[in-house]
């Protein structure tokens, strides 16, 4: 890992979260064109990707590792139901444990180590000072239920999608930094049902095509896509559960503080077929960057302005940007020479 | 055909008909919906059908009274393999019975739901997870945390409920007028 973990910073209250110049440089800027529209923007996640990039490894770890694991702990302490696994997903959870431990210990050997003697495994996470021995597949030998155990050691939200009847069902997950969706409510839903509230994309046939593509993903051929929204303050937990706590943030943006307060929130989503359960592991890795930091890259600044300016009204509404979107466009316009 | 809902998770309901090649037709209805399911029940072959009623119907010559979903669960689990279940009632009840039948191993094509008997919705609060029953207008106060919830069309079949989200979380003073739900 080229991004050594920093000491813990906060994603709430005083919001001490910050990106180093290195983290800004590797930020996954999501706009390939000056206008944004939905597309089936799924591509093979071939690893290793470019050295040092967020695509280098199957699962990216960066300087925010300790901060995000701390934040996850706070969320779960407040509401343990932010992690859920239906009984039939136990095997898929163990698939996930294997996938995370194998890839972490290979990709970041300075921080993680896995030793196996048959089904007797020992896992060491030097970043969190953990060393646990357990019997693979036997949930009673772990200190926590399998989804929570591994979910507390990996950045980003995770869902395990059960595949049956040509559909994908949201039957397990650990979701503490969602862009406004509730695992507790969406649990058990089919692919199209949990995307129910998304405007326009259903009519465009996006979900029909995406579902076919995802159901056909074979083992060892993970895929990825980027998704994005805007978030006021560096708040990881923008869940419906806590919306009463953060809703007023959206009314706190002013022309003076917009560059500092408004963050581009990008999700690097990776889907990977699990070997035993045939479930899809769906990782949603969230990156936050303030507009102030984003505009240090002139190309991004210009494009961000054009994308924001041409964003369809339905998407502004759906993404919850209505209250401050005009201020974002106005502030960004100073970085676009065409303006 | 029903109108396509704007939110795709909202269930649509089609015409219900007797399923062919069926060993046992099980009808489950609230007392209020009995009149809507009665003709279908009467059309099913004698000796191969049963009717379970929730609540006291005005007409008492039909069916067996069922006290609870757990009683019904026993009945459903005792059904022969090639059975069909027909359900009539409020939307939350429809999906409760549907989920029970699915758990007992029936395929979704063996379970038919009549359109809900009223506009009463079961509401799931995304903030405190409490359920509020018989919601007919939006916004509506949560029975758990008391927050004023916007009743959305996003539907969970598992919970048999619509999602509710605080309507004035961004601006406490911004409370829209109450609207009747459809």
Q: What is the ipTM score, two decimals? A: 0.93
Q: What are phi and psi of B31, to 5 degrees?
A: -55, -40
Is A3 among the domain residues? no
Any catalytic annotation for residue A250? Answer: no
Contact B155/B10 with Cβ under 8 angstroms?
yes
In the block, tokens 């359920």 appear at B131
In a domain, A36, yes or no: yes
Of A188, A247, A323, the CB nearest to B158: A188
Burial class (CB in 10 A: 0-12, 13-18, 19+), A3: middle
Residue window 4-63, chain B: list those with CB within 8 Å of chain A. Answer: 7-10
Residues B22 and B48: their CA atoms lie apart, in Å, by 8
Domain count across chain A: 1
Residues of chain B with pLDDT under 50: 1-2
- Is B10 within 8 Å of A196 when comparing Cβ atoms? yes
A-chain CB neighbours of B129 within 8 Å are 81, 184
pLDDT score for A39: 78
The residue whose two tokens read 């923007």 is A41
Q: Does A205 touch chain B (CB under 8 A)?
A: no
Q: Which of B152, B145, B133 is nearest to A244 (CA)?
A: B145
Contact of A306 with A124, CB cutoff 8 Å = no
Q: At what angle do helices B91-103 and B69-77 cross, to 10 degrees?
A: 40
The DSSP code for B118 is: S
pLDDT attached to residue B33: 94
Nearest-by-CA chain A residue for B157: A189
Contact (Cβ atoms closer than 8 angstroms) between residue A235 and residue A11? yes
3-state secondary structure of A285: strand
Q: How far is A256 from chain B (nearest CA, A)?
A: 20
Supply the DSSP symbol for B45.
P
Taking only the tens place, the pLDDT of each residue in A176-224 is: 999 999 999 999 999 999 998 888 888 888 888 999 999 999 999 999 9
Total residue length of chain A: 339
The partner residues of A287 in beta bridges, in order of sequence, read A266
Q: For residue A240, list chain B residues with Cβ-Cβ distance below 8 A.
A: 126-127, 163, 165
Residues of chain A with pLDDT under 70: 1-2, 339
Q: Decide if A94 is inside a domain.
A: yes
Residue A11 in domain: no
> For residue A112, what are the β-bridge partners?
A125
CB B25 within 8 A of CB B47: no
The residue range of the domain holding A220 is 21-333
CA nearest to A76, candidates A174, A185, A182? A174
Per the CB < 8 A criterion, the answer to whether A156 and A279 are in contact is no
Would A6 be classed as within a structural domain?
no
Yes or no: say if B126 and B167 are a contact pair by the CB < 8 Å rule: no
What is the distance of C-alpha A60 from the center of its chain? 10
Are A124 and A101 in contact by the 8 Å Cβ rule? The answer is: no
Q: From B145, which residue of chain A is nearest by alpha-carbon distance?
A: A244
Cβ contacts of B166 on chain A, cutoff 8 Å: 243-244, 247
Residues of A in contact with B125 (CB under 8 A): none
Measured over the CA atoms of residue A330, residue A336, residue A337 and residue A338, the dihedral's sign is: negative
Quote the DSSP letter at residue A140: G
Residue A200: the pLDDT is 82
Under 8 Å CB pairs connecting chains A and B tally to 70
Q: Which residues contact A31 (CB under 8 A, 6 or more apart)?
A: A228, A303, A304, A307
Asked if the structure places residue A96 within a domain, the reply is yes
Residue whose pair of structure tokens reads 């990709």 in the numeric block? A107
- The pLDDT value recorded for residue B2 is 43
A82, A221, A225, A306: the active-site residue: A225
Answer yes or no: is A338 within a domain: no
Strand, helix or coil at A113?
A: strand
- How many other CB atoms are there within 10 angstroms of residue A44's CB atom? 10
Q: For tokens 């559960």, what's the residue?
A: A241
Q: What is the b/e burial string over B166-176, where b = at least 16 CB atoms within 10 angstroms of the residue's CB?
A: bbbbbeeeeee
Q: How far is A328 from chain B (nearest CA, A)?
A: 18
- Asked if A248's CB is within 8 angstroms of B169's CB, the reply is yes
* CB B128, CB B139: distance < 8 Å: no
B165 touches chain A (CB under 8 A): yes
Q: Under 8 Å CB-to-CB from B178, ≥6 apart: which residues? A: B137, B138, B139
- Chosen for mutation from A79, A171, A187, A193 (greatest number of chain B CBs closer than 10 Å) is A193
pLDDT of res. A1:
47
CB-based contact B170 A248, cutoff 8 Å: yes
Which domains can be identified in chain B, with CATH numbers?
A: 24-113 (3.40.50.80), 121-180 (no CATH)
CB A159 within 8 A of CB A173: yes
Closest of A193, A65, A291, A199 to residue B158, by C-alpha: A193
């Amino acid at each position: 890992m080229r991004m050594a973990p920093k000491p813990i910073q906060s994603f709430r209250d005083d919001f001490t979260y910050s990106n180093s110049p290195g983290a800004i440089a590797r930020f996954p800027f999501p706009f390939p064109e000056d206008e944004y529209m939905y597309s089936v923007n799924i591509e093979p996640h071939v690893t290793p990707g470019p050295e040092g990039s967020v695509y280098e490894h199957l699962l990216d770890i960066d300087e925010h590792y300790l901060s995000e694991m701390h934040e996850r702990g706070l969320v779960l302490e407040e509401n343990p139901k932010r992690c859920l696994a239906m009984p039939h997903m136990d095997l898929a959870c163990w698939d996930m444990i294997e996938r995370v431990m194998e890839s972490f210990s290979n990709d970041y050997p300075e921080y993680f180590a896995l030793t196996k003697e048959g089904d007797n495994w020992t896992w060491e996470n030097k970043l969190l000072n953990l060393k646990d021995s357990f019997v693979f597949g036997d949930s009673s030998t772990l200190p926590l239920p399998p989804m929570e155990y591994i979910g507390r050691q990996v950045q980003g939200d995770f869902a395990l999608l059960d595949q049956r009847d040509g559909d994908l069902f949201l039957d397990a997950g650990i979701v503490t930094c969602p862009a406004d969706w509730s695992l507790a409510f969406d649990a058990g839903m089919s692919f199209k049902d949990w995307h129910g509230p998304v405007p326009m994309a259903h009519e465009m046939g996006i979900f029909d095509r995406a579902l076919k593509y995802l159901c056909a993903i074979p083992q060892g051929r993970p895929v990825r896509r980027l998704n994005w929204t805007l978030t006021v303050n560096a708040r990881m937990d923008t869940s419906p559960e806590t919306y009463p706590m953060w809703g007023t943030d959206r009314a706190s943006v002013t022309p003076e503080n917009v560059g500092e307060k408004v963050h581009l929130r990008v999700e690097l989503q990776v889907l990977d077929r699990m070997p035993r359960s045939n479930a899809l592991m769906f990782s949603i890795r969230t990156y936050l960057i303030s507009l102030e930091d984003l505009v240090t890259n002139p190309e991004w600044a210009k494009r961000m302005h054009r994308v924001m300016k041409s964003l369809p009204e339905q998407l502004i509404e759906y993404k919850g940007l209505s209250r401050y979107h005009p201020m974002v466009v106005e502030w960004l316009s100073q970085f676009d020479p065409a303006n | 055909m029903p109108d396509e809902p704007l939110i795709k998770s909202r269930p649509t309901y089609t015409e219900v008909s007797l399923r062919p090649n069926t060993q046992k037709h099980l009808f489950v209805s609230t007392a209020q919906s009995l009149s809507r399911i009665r003709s279908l029940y009467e059309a099913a072959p004698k000796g191969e059908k049963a009717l379970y009623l929730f609540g006291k119907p005005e007409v008492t010559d039909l069916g067996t009274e069922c006290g609870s979903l757990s009683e019904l669960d026993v009945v459903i689990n005792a059904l022969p393999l090639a059975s069909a279940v027909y359900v009539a009632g409020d939307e939350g009840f429809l999906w409760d019975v549907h989920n029970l039948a699915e758990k007992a191993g029936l395929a979704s094509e063996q379970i038919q739901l009549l359109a809900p008997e009223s506009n009463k919705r079961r509401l799931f609060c995304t903030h405190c997870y409490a359920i509020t029953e018989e919601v007919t207008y939006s916004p509506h106060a949560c029975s758990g945390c008391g927050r004023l919830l916007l009743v959305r069309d996003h539907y969970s079949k598992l919970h048999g409920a619509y999602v509710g989200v605080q309507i004035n979380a961004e601006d406490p003073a911004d409370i829209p007028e109450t609207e009747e739900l459809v």
